[in-house]
């Protein structure tokens, strides 16, 4: 608790809203791995009862084949007592905490004249509370919209593409010069959901075979509508005494539409006379939306947990995704992270040949040396690419995590233009007046924005070289990074993404 208050106070002094922080889970929730598969909830309930988890308030199957079950308890004392009994029973392989994560979005208020660079300036008038201070109920979310058929495409230039500095920075070839096969490549967006009816994304969404309207899944609420429910009312928070003081901000500032913004650079349609286009738009890529964050009004508002993230990863593997984007994370000790069930899910993805692109985090720390680095960014697996954020001058974003070993490459992550909820587009999260009546803006900044640019590039490259494996696609991206002085000693490649070079490179030998 002391640590939480210290970091919260630092947020007040710095005037920042940080969608990050420790990934500590509620000690009332445990992930239990049994030796035997748990094929049904009734079987898991019986196993829990006879192995020491009989005091659990609720139970959920996370992965039946892996024997992985989530048990929720009334309080920390009961959870700890159950942990001891479970481990002593001889029936379980492990018991770990259910860790929590935030989107890797860096939000800070600046005066309008500083918005083009989105760096420095301005003081946000209240701290953003970390997940464990938010209020809210456990009520179900509002009804999500049905998945609609994609609108008819009117061929023509994407009108906002010329304003997208990120695509110019990464040396993306002319679309007319790109020739690829027709094999579908699925890219999963594990996030806050996606506005799957967005005019520029609807036609890019994956549809589960045999269905017309399953474009992914929401594992926070167990429904087949992974909708990105935007809830970001800054001025409402400023008018609320509790929220202004940092209490219950989850009721106002849960989600600015993070997943929809992430999806844009991965797969927004090209040459459809609308908005922008994603890197993988010229090829037959499809976006699979997987939601694992909770919505406004819920006890876990604005957070995602290991349990739902693991289900999302397993769903992506089962349904053929080749690329996963993870623009989220949290800080924890390496020992805690190494025992996490999330790492085991990432290893399952590795064995399935899936490439995972991960945001490095926004705490301006060295993930190589910090006692509590960002995870999942700091897992050292050969199927991951960890991405730092850079600005238009190729400098490291002043918020971005780095690491000469654990962070691999830089990509644009400052004031990024992309798709936003409600068929909109923006590089600004919000414009508002602070408590003094002064104009403020918040830009779309973060390693969250950098990661999907690399993920989109991975899908594009893989479509050209469908016979290569994840290690070769990863090597193409990392071996051809454009060297920049600001990233020397900060990321392992010392450079930023160069799509043309990756596309034209010789087949990597491993």
pLDDT of residue 269: 93
Highest mean pLDDT, choosing among 125-134, 142-151, 461-470: 461-470
Q: Which domain holds residue 58?
A: 29-98
Q: Are 73 and 30 a contacting pair, CB within 8 Å? A: yes
Q: What is the mean pLDDT of the chain?
A: 87
> Does any domain span residue 430?
yes
**Opening angle at CA 313, ends 307 and 316, nearest 5:** 140
Please tell me the distance from the alpha carbon of residue 401 to that of residue 11, in angstroms, as a whole number. 17
Task: With respect to residue 24, please indicate whether it lies within any of the assigned structural domains.
Answer: no
| CB atoms inside a 10 Å sphere around CB 332 | 23
| Beta pairing class for 355-359 and 384-390 | parallel
Residues 83 and 194 placed together within one structural domain of the fold: no
- Indicate the pLDDT class of residue 135, thresholds 50, 70 and 90: very low
Q: Which of 158, 191, 200, 306 does the annotation list as catalytic? A: 191
Residue where a domain stops, chosen among 98, 129, 154: 98
Looking at residue 361, which CATH number applies to its domain?
A: 3.40.50.200
Would you say residue 244 has pLDDT above 80? Answer: no
pLDDT of residue 285: 84
- Provide the CATH number for the domain around residue 87: 3.30.70.330
pLDDT over threshold 60, residue 2: no
The answer to whether residues 149 and 199 belong to one domain is yes
Are residues 415 and 497 both part of a single domain?
yes
Q: How far is CA 157 from CA 154, 275, 285, 356, 386, in A?
A: 10, 9, 19, 31, 32
Alpha helices in 289-408 (DSSP H): 306-318, 334-338, 341-351
Mean pLDDT of the region 314-341:
96
Q: Is 191 marked active-site?
A: yes
Same domain, yes or no: 318 and 433: yes
Torsion of CA 490, 491, 494, 495, to 10 degrees: -120
Residue 277 has pLDDT above 50, yes or no: yes
For residue 249, what pLDDT band results from cuts at 50, 70 and 90? confident
Is the same domain home to 240 and 309?
yes
Residue that wins the pLDDT comparison between 184 and 305: 305
Q: How confident is the model at residue 344 (pLDDT cuts 50, 70, 90)?
A: very high
Alpha helices, DSSP H, located in 208-257: 234-239, 241-244
Residues in the chain: 510
- Quick one: average pLDDT of 273-301? 90
% of the chain residues with pLDDT over 90? 73
Question: What domain count does the chain have?
Answer: 2
Task: Give me the pLDDT at residue 191, please.
Answer: 97
Do 393 and 272 sit in the same domain of this protein?
yes
Look at residue 244 and tell me if it is in a domain.
yes
Q: Are residues 199 and 261 in the same domain?
A: yes
Final residue in a domain of this structure, among 98, 122, 157: 98
- Rounded Cα distance, 153 and 175, in Å: 17
For residues 82 and 139, state if they share a domain: no
What is the predicted pLDDT for the residue at 363? 93
Cis bond before residue 157 (omega within 30° of 0): no
136 vs 208 pLDDT, higher one: 208
Q: Compare 70 and 7 and report the one with higher pLDDT.
A: 70
Lowest-confidence region among 283-297, 307-321, 481-495 = 283-297
- Work out the average pLDDT over 190-214: 96
Final residue before a domain boundary, out of 98, 114, 149: 98
Angle at 161 between CA 415 and CA 458, to 5 degrees: 80
User: Would you call 435 exposed, middle or buried from its count of C-beta atoms within 10 A (0-12, 13-18, 19+)?
Assistant: exposed
Q: Clarify whether residues 340 and 253 are in a common domain.
A: yes
Which residue among the candidates 47, 327, 426, 448 is catalytic per the annotation? 448
261: annotated active-site residue: no
* Residue 6 in this model has a pLDDT that exceeds 80: no
Give the pLDDT of residue 487.
Answer: 98
Among candidate residues 258, 261, 265, 408, the one labeled active-site is 258
Question: Are 64 and 188 members of one domain?
Answer: no
pLDDT at residue 131 tops 60: no
Of 408, 415, 413, residue with least CA distance to 487: 408
Residue 329's SS3 state is strand
Q: What is the pLDDT of residue 309?
A: 98
State the average pLDDT over residues 68-79: 94
Asked if pLDDT for residue 145 goes beyond 60, the answer is yes
Query: Is 202 an active-site residue?
Result: no
With bands split at pLDDT 50, 70 and 90, how would you rate the model's confidence at 3?
very low
Let me know if 149 is exposed, middle or buried by CB neighbors in 10 A (0-12, 13-18, 19+).
Answer: exposed
pLDDT at 291 over 70: yes
Question: How confident is the model over 298-313, as a mean pLDDT?
Answer: 93
In a domain, 509, yes or no: no
Residue 510 lies in a domain: no
Interior/surface letters 280-314, b for 16+ CB within 10 angstroms, e for the rest: bbbbebbbbbbbbbbbbbbebbbbbbbbbbbbbbb
The mean pLDDT value for 495-500 works out to 97
* pLDDT score at 298: 86
Residues 63 and 170 in one domain: no
Q: Which residues contact 357 (CB under 8 A, 6 or more apart)?
A: 323, 324, 325, 326, 384, 385, 387, 451, 452, 454, 455, 458
More confident residue, 168 or 509: 168
> Can you tell me the mean pLDDT for 228-246?
83
With contact defined as beta carbons under 8 Å apart, do 232 and 296 qualify? Answer: no
* 83 and 131 belong to one structural domain: no
**pLDDT(14) > 50:** no
| CA–CA separation, 141 and 144 (whole Å) | 8
In this model, does residue 330 exceed pLDDT 80? Answer: yes
Q: What pLDDT is stored for residue 354 in this prediction?
A: 98
Q: How confident is the model at residue 118 (pLDDT cuts 50, 70, 90)?
A: very low
- CA separation for the pair 392, 62 (Å, rounded): 42
Report if residue 489 sits inside a domain: yes
Lowest mean pLDDT among 168-182, 382-396, 447-461, 466-480: 168-182
Query: Max alpha carbon distance in the chain (Å)?
Result: 66
The answer to the question of residue 36 being in a domain is yes
By mean pLDDT, which of 99-103, 104-108, 353-357 is the weakest?
A: 104-108
What tens digit of pLDDT does each residue of 22-60 get? 666 667 999 999 999 999 999 999 999 999 999 999 999
Residue 451 predicted with pLDDT over 50: yes
In a domain, 486, yes or no: yes
Residue ranges in 328-468 assigned as alpha helix (H): 334-338, 341-351, 447-464
Q: Residue 252: which pLDDT band, with cuts at 50, 70 and 90?
A: confident
Q: Given this model, what pLDDT does residue 479 score?
A: 98
Interstrand relation of 321-326 and 185-191 (parallel, antiparallel or unpaired):
parallel
Residue 126 pLDDT more than 90?
no
* Closest CA relative to residue 278, chosen from 265, 287, 289: 265
């Amino acid at each position: 608790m002391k640590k939480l208050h210290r970091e919260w106070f630092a947020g007040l002094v710095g005037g920042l809203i940080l969608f990050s922080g420790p990934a500590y889970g509620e000690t009332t929730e445990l992930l239990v791995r049994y030796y035997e598969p748990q094929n049904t909830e009734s079987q898991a309930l019986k196993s829990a009862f006879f192995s020491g988890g009989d005091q659990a308030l609720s139970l959920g199957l996370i992965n039946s084949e892996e024997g992985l079950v989530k048990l929720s308890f009334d309080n920390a004392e009961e959870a700890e007592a159950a942990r001891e009994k479970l481990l002593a029973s001889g029936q379980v392989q492990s018991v770990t905490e259910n860790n929590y994560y935030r989107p890797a979005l860096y939000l800070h208020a600046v005066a309008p004249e500083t918005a083009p660079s989105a760096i420095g300036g301005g003081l946000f008038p209240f701290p953003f509370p970390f997940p464990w201070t938010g209020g809210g109920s456990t009520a179900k979310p509002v009804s999500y919209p049905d998945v609609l058929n994609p609108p008819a495409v009117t061929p023509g230039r994407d009108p906002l593409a010329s304003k997208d500095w990120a695509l110019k920075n990464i040396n993306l070839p002319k679309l007319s010069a790109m020739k690829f096969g027709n094999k579908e490549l699925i890219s999963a967006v594990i996030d806050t959901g996606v506005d799957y009816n967005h005019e520029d994304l609807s036609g890019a969404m994956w549809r589960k075979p045999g269905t017309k309207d399953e474009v992914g899944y929401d594992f926070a609420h167990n429904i087949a509508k992974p909708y990105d429910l935007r809830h970001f009312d800054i001025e409402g928070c400023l008018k609320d005494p509790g929220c202004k003081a940092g209490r219950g901000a989850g009721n106002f500032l849960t989600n600015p539409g993070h997943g929809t913004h992430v999806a844009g650079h991965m797969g927004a349609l090209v040459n459809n006379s609308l908005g922008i286009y994603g890197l993988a738009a010229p090829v037959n890529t499809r976006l699979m939306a997987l939601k694992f964050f909770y919505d406004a009004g819920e006890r876990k508002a604005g957070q995602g947990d290991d349990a739902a993230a693991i289900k999302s990863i397993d769903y992506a593997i089962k349904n053929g995704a080749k690329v996963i984007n993870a623009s989220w994370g949290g800080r924890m000790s390496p020992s805690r992270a190494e025992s996490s069930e999330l790492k085991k899910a990432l290893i399952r993805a590795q064995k399935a040949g899936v490439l995972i692109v991960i945001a490095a985090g926004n705490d301006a720390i060295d993930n190589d040396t910090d006692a509590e680095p960002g995870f999942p960014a700091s897992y050292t697996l050969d199927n991951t690419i960890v991405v730092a954020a850079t600005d238009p001058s190729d400098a490291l974003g002043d918020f971005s995590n780095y690491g000469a070993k654990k962070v691999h490459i830089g990509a644009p992550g400052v004031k990024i233009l992309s798709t936003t909820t409600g068929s909109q587009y923006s590089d600004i999260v919000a414009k508002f007046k602070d408590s003094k009546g002064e104009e403020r803006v918040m830009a779309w900044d973060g390693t969250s924005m950098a990661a999907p640019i690399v993920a989109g590039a991975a899908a594009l490259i893989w479509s050209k070289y469908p016979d290569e494996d994840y290690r070769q696609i990863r090597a193409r991206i990392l071996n051809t990074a454009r060297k920049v002085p600001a990233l020397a000693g900060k990321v392992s490649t010392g450079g930023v993404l160069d799509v043309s070079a990756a596309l034209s490179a010789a087949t990597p030998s491993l």
